[in-house]
């Protein structure tokens, strides 16, 4: 049969099998991913007589194409700005948890007698959770606005970054190289900085031009082409296809055209993601799966317990209250797509035995099925462990948490560190950029030399011209690095003027001299001397010095333009970023208030559609209040009795669990709303203690909190008395605990306002 017809036939079988199995799993309440894997196992080469697809190479090709689109979609959901605004606690906790899981797996590997690389692969399979499954569990259990739910969402999203790093390291390890991990991480960091830096400069401009043509088809085709080019570039550089696809997704997530790109790629993402998971299923040998079922149960229990212990401890170390940390850790058990990918890589490289592939799939399915059951009994489980926990340990956690809170609320760092910090970060990024340019340009120049038509020029001349252009490109950040060195030297010299007898000029000169030596050694280490030889690089260095002497202002101008274009892309819409960060980063533990946040959507055929809030009287009938209404992507926070509700409105409710259940049952009576997934990105709740000062003793109406900060005080606790939804006549007293609703930015404004005059 013609190869093209065979490929189309295989695609038809894959998609039909995925559709049938996915529909069955969705009907019985399981994830469609389970259906795709089962479909793949049925039609794959290991299950006669249903082995419709036998060609292993074609299966591998289908899985690689699916992987590229899957990683692009993951990158779209994790923008660089979102990462930068998460703060330090969640990223540190995520990487610390991964480290702890790795250490626990090393102990397991030592006990089982596994080789080091074997243990590394198994640990990598357990270090990353499934963000798709976890977000589904959080939505089904109404934990979206609970602090534990938001912590789990933040950690599982950042674990996608951990997974990309692991894939890159494991791909390099299985490629036959013996490079140390630290060197590989440095090279990968340089590659990422080069790719992201170039992408942030070129992709937004290209997307603006395509948008101006008002041709969505051309935009989609172009983005798909760039996607495959970057995936291939990452593979050619010695890394995983996943790295290039993920980075393009993260770049596109920063530009205004993200929504249109995401909409255009939704169909392709769903199509090729299903192809990927079915291809993964086709590699499962059912006989091996049956042989390793005791290992599946054992490693599944190890993964759930080990991840719960590691993530819970990491979150506590980073300042999360122990109960919130443990509650979040129970949600982080499910393993997912990266477990399959890593197992596939290990088996394909013959690092892992063949039975580890079905073993990984079985462990993943075990965790996906067991974690929702465990979380239904989360409160009894947490209460049990709190009862048996030694009081000394409990007091230690409480003391540590209080110390960390005091440290975070202490005065800001010194003026010297404030002035130098930004420039140090900029220097590190620019040094990584130069490192990447000089390391990877050799491959690009060799590729160009092999594919350019004959020009009559000698190969040596082509190399000199190409490396001259690369040097000119590297000079732009190098001049900026040296200017930052001089500025930091001046800052440090001025700061040390009062604490040392040395003159400021001497200290500054010493810092410049040390920096010059270190930068010279760094350039010596990364310049590919074998490309041109010693005298060739001497000639280029002299030409570079002449360019700097004559055109230093022009180089500074080019650097400023590049920096301005990158900053303009990363700035984006601060309001939207803050709203999204509010959902991902913050939600206060509301257990002491005995209230929760809940969400619902007004269905299309709701009988109360068009009625006033005063007519519905939700506080009187159900005891809960509406905090926000999202209508056509616009969030209404000024909730007045004369507002009407319309189909499609998203409501954010506050009340006790039974009150929310009653209100939601009334508001969502139409079956049209039953299957909707709500992602509310507005208010969260946080508790503050009112300090002594001019704020105390005044009524809420006099203080004008909503007008000054945009937040709303929705509860006051004074001793044993709790006032929910207080009126404007209520007064704030020193020592009161107030429950405040608002976005992340509004709550920060409230905190500054509350303590400004204390």
Can you give the three-state secondary structure of 708-758, one letter per residue? HHCCEEEEEEECCEEEECCCCCCECCCCCEEEEEECHHHHHHHHHHHHHCC
Taking residues 649-672, report their average pLDDT.
Answer: 77
| Report for 68-72, 316-320, 324-328: range of highest mean pLDDT | 324-328
SS (H, E, C) 48-67: CCCCCCCCHHHHHHHHHHHH
Task: Kindly report which listed range (138-142, 236-240, 521-525, 669-673) carries the lowest average pLDDT score.
Answer: 669-673
Q: What is the DSSP letter of 652?
A: E
**pLDDT band at residue 143 using 50, 70 and 90 as cut-offs:** confident
**pLDDT band at residue 519 using 50, 70 and 90 as cut-offs:** confident
Looking at the predicted structure, is the pLDDT value of residue 479 above 60? yes
Mean pLDDT of the chain: 76
Please list the residue range(s) of the chain that carry CATH number 1.20.1530.20: 3-376
pLDDT digits (tens, 9 = 90+) for 718-746: 888 888 878 888 888 888 888 888 776 67
pLDDT digits (tens, 9 = 90+) for 562-585: 776 666 665 554 444 444 444 444
The pLDDT assigned to 79 comes to 62
Please list the residue range(s) of the chain that carry CATH number 3.30.70.1450: 591-673, 684-756
Neighbouring residues of 14: CB distance < 8 A, sequence distance ≥ 6? 39, 40, 43, 53, 62, 274, 275, 278, 279
Neighbour count for residue 747 (Cβ, 10 Å): 23
pLDDT digits (tens, 9 = 90+) for 351-392: 888 888 788 888 888 888 888 888 888 888 888 888 888 888
Residue ranges in 587-631 assigned as alpha helix (H): 613-616, 618-622
Residue ranges in 318-451 assigned as alpha helix (H): 322-331, 337-348, 356-376, 378-388, 391-408, 415-451
Looking at the predicted structure, is the pLDDT value of residue 463 above 70? yes
Structure pTM? 0.60
The pLDDT assigned to 302 comes to 92
**How far does the chain reach from its first CA to its final CA, in angstroms?**
82
SS (H, E, C) 415-445: HHHHHHHHHHHHHHHHHHHHHHHHHHHHHHH
pLDDT digits (tens, 9 = 90+) for 287-311: 777 788 888 899 999 999 999 999 9
**pLDDT band at residue 670 using 50, 70 and 90 as cut-offs:** very low
CATH code given to domain 684-756: 3.30.70.1450
3-class DSSP assignment, residue 644: strand
258 vs 339, which has greater pLDDT?
339
* Class of the domain covering 3-376: mainly alpha
- What are the backbone angles phi and psi of residue 653, rounded to the nearest 5°? -110, 150
**pLDDT band at residue 678 using 50, 70 and 90 as cut-offs:** very low
Looking at the predicted structure, is the pLDDT value of residue 676 above 50? no
Judge whether 172 and 179 are in contact, CB under 8 Å.
yes
> Which has the closest alpha carbon to 740: 689, 681, 694?
689
CATH code given to domain 591-673: 3.30.70.1450
Q: Which two tokens stand for residue 633?
A: 């992507």
**Whole-angstrom Cα distance, residue 738 to residue 716?**
5
Looking at the predicted structure, is the pLDDT value of residue 178 above 60? no
3-class DSSP assignment, residue 697: coil
- What are the backbone angles phi and psi of residue 518, rounded to the nearest 5°? -65, -40
502 vs 309, which has greater pLDDT?
309
354 vs 672, which has greater pLDDT?
354
**Whole-angstrom Cα distance, residue 469 to residue 325?**
52
Chain centre distance of CA 165 = 13
Looking at the chain, the whole-number percentage of residues with pLDDT higher than 70 is 80
The pLDDT assigned to 291 comes to 80
Q: Within 13 A of 630's CA, how many CA atoms are on the CB side?
A: 15
502 vs 258, which has greater pLDDT?
258
Looking at the chain, the whole-number percentage of residues with pLDDT higher than 90 is 1
> Which has the closest alpha carbon to 438: 545, 510, 532, 337?
532
H or E segment to which residue 350 belongs: none
Neighbouring residues of 458: CB distance < 8 A, sequence distance ≥ 6? none
pLDDT digits (tens, 9 = 90+) for 210-252: 766 656 777 778 888 888 888 888 777 777 777 788 888 878 8
**Whole-angstrom Cα distance, residue 749 to residue 755?**
10
Looking at the predicted structure, is the pLDDT value of residue 34 above 80? no
């Amino acid at each position: 049969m013609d190869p093209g017809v065979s490929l189309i036939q295989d695609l038809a079988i894959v998609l039909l099998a995925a559709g049938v199995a996915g529909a069955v799993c969705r009907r019985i309440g399981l994830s469609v991913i389970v259906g795709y894997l089962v479909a793949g196992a049925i039609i794959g080469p290991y299950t006669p007589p249903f082995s419709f697809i036998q060609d292993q190479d074609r299966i591998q090709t289908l899985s690689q194409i699916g992987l590229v689109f899957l990683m692009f979609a993951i990158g779209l959901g994790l923008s660089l700005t979102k990462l930068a605004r998460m703060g330090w606690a969640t990223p540190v906790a995520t990487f610390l948890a991964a480290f702890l899981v790795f250490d626990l797996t090393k102990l397991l590997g030592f006990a089982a007698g596994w080789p080091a690389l074997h243990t590394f692969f198994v640990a990598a399979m357990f270090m990353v959770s499934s963000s798709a499954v976890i977000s589904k569990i959080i939505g089904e259990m109404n934990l979206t606005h609970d602090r534990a739910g938001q912590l789990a969402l933040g950690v599982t999203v950042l674990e996608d970054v951990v997974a990309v790093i692991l894939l890159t390291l494991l791909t390099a390890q299985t490629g036959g190289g013996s490079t140390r991990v630290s060197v590989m991480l440095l090279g990968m960091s340089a590659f990422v900085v080069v790719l992201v830096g170039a992408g942030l400069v070129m992709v937004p401009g290209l997307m603006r031009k395509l948008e101006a043509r008002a041709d969505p088809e051309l935009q989609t085709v172009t983005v798909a082409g760039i996607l495959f080019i970057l995936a291939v570039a990452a593979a050619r550089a010695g890394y995983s296809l996943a790295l290039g696809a993920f980075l393009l997704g993260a770049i596109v997530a920063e530009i205004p055209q993200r929504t249109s790109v995401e909409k255009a790629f939704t169909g392709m993402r769903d199509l090729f993601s299903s192809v990927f998971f079915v291809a993964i299923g086709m590699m499962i040998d059912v006989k091996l799966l049956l042989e390793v079922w005791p290992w599946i149960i054992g490693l599944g229990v190890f993964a759930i317990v080990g991840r719960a212990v590691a993530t819970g401890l990491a979150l506590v170390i980073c300042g999360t209250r122990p109960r919130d940390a443990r509650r979040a850790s129970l949600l982080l058990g499910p393993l997912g797509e990266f477990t399959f990918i890593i197992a596939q890589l290990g088996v394909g490289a013959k690092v892992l035995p063949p039975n580890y592939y079905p073993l990984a799939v079985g462990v993943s399915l075990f965790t996906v099925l067991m974690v929702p059951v465990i979380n239904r009994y989360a409160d009894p489980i947490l209460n049990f462990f709190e009862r048996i926990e030694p009081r000394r340990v409990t007091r230690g956690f409480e003391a540590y948490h209080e110390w960390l809170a005091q440290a975070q609320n202490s005065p800001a760092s010194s003026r010297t560190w404030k002035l130098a910090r930004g420039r140090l970060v900029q220097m590190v990024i620019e040094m990584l950029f130069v490192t990447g340019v000089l390391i990877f340009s050799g491959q690009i120049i060799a590729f160009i030399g092999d594919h350019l038509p004959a020009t009559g020029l000698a190969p040596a001349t082509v190399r000199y011209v190409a490396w001259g252009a690369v040097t000119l490109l590297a000079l732009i950040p190098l001049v900026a690095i040296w200017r930052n060195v001089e500025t930091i030297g001046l800052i440090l010299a001025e700061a040390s003027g009062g604490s040392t007898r040395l003159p400021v000029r001497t200290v500054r000169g010493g810092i410049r001299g040390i920096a010059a030596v270190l930068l010279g050694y760094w350039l010596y280490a990364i310049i590919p001397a074998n490309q041109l030889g010693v005298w060739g690089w001497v000639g280029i260095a002299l030409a570079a010095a002449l360019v700097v002497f004559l055109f230093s202002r022009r180089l500074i101008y080019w650097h400023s333009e590049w920096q301005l274009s990158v900053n303009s892309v990363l700035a984006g819409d601060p309001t939207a970023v803050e709203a999204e960060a509010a959902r991902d980063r913050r939600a206060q533990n509301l257990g002491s208030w005995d209230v929760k946040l809940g969400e619902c959507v007004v269905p299309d055929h709701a009988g109360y559609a068009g009625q006033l809030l005063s007519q519905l009287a939700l506080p009187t009938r159900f005891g809960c209040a509406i905090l926000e209404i999202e209508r056509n992507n616009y969030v209404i926070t000024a909730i007045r009795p004369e507002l009407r509700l319309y189909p499609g409105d998203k409501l954010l409710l506050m009340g006790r669990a039974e009150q929310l259940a009653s209100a939601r049952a009334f508001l969502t009576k139409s079956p049209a709303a039953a299957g909707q997934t709500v992602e509310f990105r507005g208010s969260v709740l946080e508790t503050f203690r009112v300090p002594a000062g001019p704020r105390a003793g005044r009524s809420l109406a006099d203080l004008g909190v909503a007008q000054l900060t945009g937040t709303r005080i929705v509860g006051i606790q004074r001793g044993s008395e709790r006032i929910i939804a207080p009126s404007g006549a209520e007064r704030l007293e020193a020592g009161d605990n107030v429950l405040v609703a608002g976005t992340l930015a509004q709550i920060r404004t409230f905190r500054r306002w509350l303590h400004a005059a204390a």
